[in-house]
Structure 1
């Protein structure tokens, strides 16, 4: 297969690609050279603290903000084209609707603009469980209901790419579970979902890959399982200085990290637990716990974003 054929295959597998996407507002660098890829049929989690550059990046991807440099393509075409926009649904920075219209009439207004039938309005109301409240005025909706109506608007026209910025904002636990199930079902039916969220437990459960952005830079893009790493060993032993010294000797100084509750995470395979236990006892430590452990996405995220970003190129996994 020659290079042109390989490039064509990559383009077919990708719904979204950005290359060096950058946005400056005066002296402030909001997004700094973001290069990311979203593959067809996956749920991609876009993670970052407030102000990290997530929303600005999403707005550039949607053609709502012009980048200072770099570019983005959606469904193989430049962003902002009408034929591309018709195939993308989005909820970014919260929904905005006419307050005195009902939820159903707000969606009907959007459907008329997109030349969609009224049956599509009923379809999306049912998807977000708002059929019974569809005739209520939007101004009387709770925050969670407003959020669900915003997601319904994003689903009008059955788009191929759905971009959701904090879709569970304002939802109660049951609503969050319903939203999670909806996102999973959308991907199962062949759609692609780009999801930004601060609820990392939810992201860990439903996303195939994630991109982590901090101070405008994409620090890492990888499968969730690869980002979390394999199973390691959790150790609780006293005195902790002794435990730390033993663990560092076996795993290397960079292979030990503090965990909540005074425990240590040691980058050794689970099979190394007996040897680690013997080494701790030989060193005079009292061993309280040695158990297999797997890092959560939340732990990895905070490890990555609470230290200064290295001045290196973005670490990315290759696109197959």
Structure 2
């Protein structure tokens, strides 16, 4: 898969700050979907900004795919509103500027990968060169002549992403784009998504792979039981950082740590202590412990992963039970 940038933390604060004043690419207010007496999506308010990678997280049955389908105009909401590129979902002016891969790719099995894309390109009045460029970007140029039915799950997923990219849409909505890919393919897909955002496209990414989302997303929304529980940058959602200290004797180490960090800022965890202090204070903490005659076995920065936050949010007793409709 050819990309211009390797995967790295979401970047360019200047790029995002410059675009923050622009109108959002996606907004929903009170977006709700019922299927009979089952509430699939419950009054969701989300905002996707231009040029960012937005990670949409939730357990199976949380309402992710139903939300995405409403944004694409494939499902009519029961209540609430949505705007996509300042238009109603499904309007011609929005559809032409959005590329999507939702609930797996659907292609003609007897046609080659290239011919499947040519059919789509013809509908969009795009030249054949657009098809070749899309195949190249997802590393399928060498298999473009093969029938779609011969593709592995990962190759089918790549072709689906290539189809979504045709015409360089302003917004890409990708539902589990790394499904079926091996570790190398997953890394290349992450790099491609980062590259697309760097070039100015906006990516709304639904995934259950939390490490993947943490690595490439600028902001995330967490949904469970149809309700949006949190929406923030990854850093803000992960919260404050701290230090992990393993030192002996433990009672003396606890006393020193409490004097340094203050009451309520020291917690016993995993056979050691967690100090709710800036990790930059590690040298001071180590010096104080050693000076007090405490043996320091380990001291390292400690911060919550996105996975930690996700499970805290989605397993809270206040979280509604997941619906069966995703």
Find out whether 1:14 has 2:18 as its counterpart. Answer: no
Q: SS state of the match for residue 72, structure 1? A: strand
Q: SS state of the match for residue 149, structure 1? A: helix
Q: Which residue of 1 aligns with 2:5?
A: none
Q: Which residue of 2 aligns with 1:116?
A: 126
Aligned ranges for residues 131-210 of structure 1 at < 5 Å?
A: 131-210=141-220
Q: SS state of the match for residue 139, structure 1? A: helix
Gaps of 5+ in 1: 1-8, 312-320
Give yes or no for contact 1:44–1:193 (8 Å, CA) kept in 2.
yes
Give yes or no for contact 2:256–2:288 (8 Å, CA) kept in 1.
no
Q: Which residue of 2 aligns with 1:45?
A: 55
Aligned ranges for residues 1-320 of structure 1 at < 5 Å?
A: 12-236=22-246, 256=267, 258=269, 261-262=270-271, 265-270=274-279, 288-309=297-318
Q: SS state of the match for residue 311, structure 2? A: helix
Give yes or no for contact 2:286–2:296 (8 Å, CA) kept in 1.
no
Specify whether residues 20 and 276 from structure 1 end up closer, same or farther in structure 2 by C-alpha distance, changes over 3 A only. Answer: farther
Specify whether residues 100 and 217 from structure 1 end up closer, same or farther in structure 2 by C-alpha distance, changes over 3 A only. Answer: same
Cα deviation for residue 228 of structure 1 reads 1.7
Specify whether residues 103 and 301 from structure 1 end up closer, same or farther in structure 2 by C-alpha distance, changes over 3 A only. Answer: same
**CA distance in 1 between partners of 2:249 and 2:268 (Å):** 16
**CA distance in 2 between partners of 1:196 and 1:62 (Å):** 14
Specify whether residues 275 and 235 from structure 1 end up closer, same or farther in structure 2 by C-alpha distance, changes over 3 A only. Answer: closer
Q: SS state of the match for residue 13, structure 1? A: coil
Normalised to the residue count of structure 2, the TM-score between the two structures is 0.81
Cα deviation for residue 111 of structure 1 reads 1.3
Cα deviation for residue 12 of structure 1 reads 3.4
**CA distance in 1 between partners of 2:134 and 2:298 (Å):** 50
Give yes or no for contact 1:257–1:266 (8 Å, CA) kept in 2.
no
1:138-177 per-residue CA deviation (whole Å, 9 max, x = no partner) reads 1110010000000001011110000001101111111111
Specify whether residues 70 and 236 from structure 1 end up closer, same or farther in structure 2 by C-alpha distance, changes over 3 A only. Answer: farther
Give yes or no for contact 1:22–1:34 (8 Å, CA) kept in 2.
yes
1:66-89 per-residue CA deviation (whole Å, 9 max, x = no partner) reads 111111101111111011101000
**CA distance in 2 between partners of 1:240 and 1:23 (Å):** 54
Give yes or no for contact 1:277–1:290 (8 Å, CA) kept in 2.
no
Specify whether residues 135 and 211 from structure 1 end up closer, same or farther in structure 2 by C-alpha distance, changes over 3 A only. Answer: same
> CA RMSD, aligned part only?
3.0
Normalised to the residue count of structure 1, the TM-score between the two structures is 0.83
**CA distance in 2 between partners of 1:29 and 1:124 (Å):** 38
**CA distance in 1 between partners of 2:42 and 2:35 (Å):** 12
Specify whether residues 268 and 85 from structure 1 end up closer, same or farther in structure 2 by C-alpha distance, changes over 3 A only. Answer: same
- Of structures 1 and 2, the one with the larger relative CO (CA 8 A, separation 6+) is 2
Q: Which residue of 2 aligns with 1:317?
A: none
**CA distance in 1 between partners of 2:271 and 2:222 (Å):** 27
Q: SS state of the match for residue 22, structure 2? A: helix
Q: Which residue of 2 aligns with 1:314?
A: none
Q: What is the total number of aligned residue pairs between the two structures? A: 300
**CA distance in 1 between partners of 2:64 and 2:191 (Å):** 23
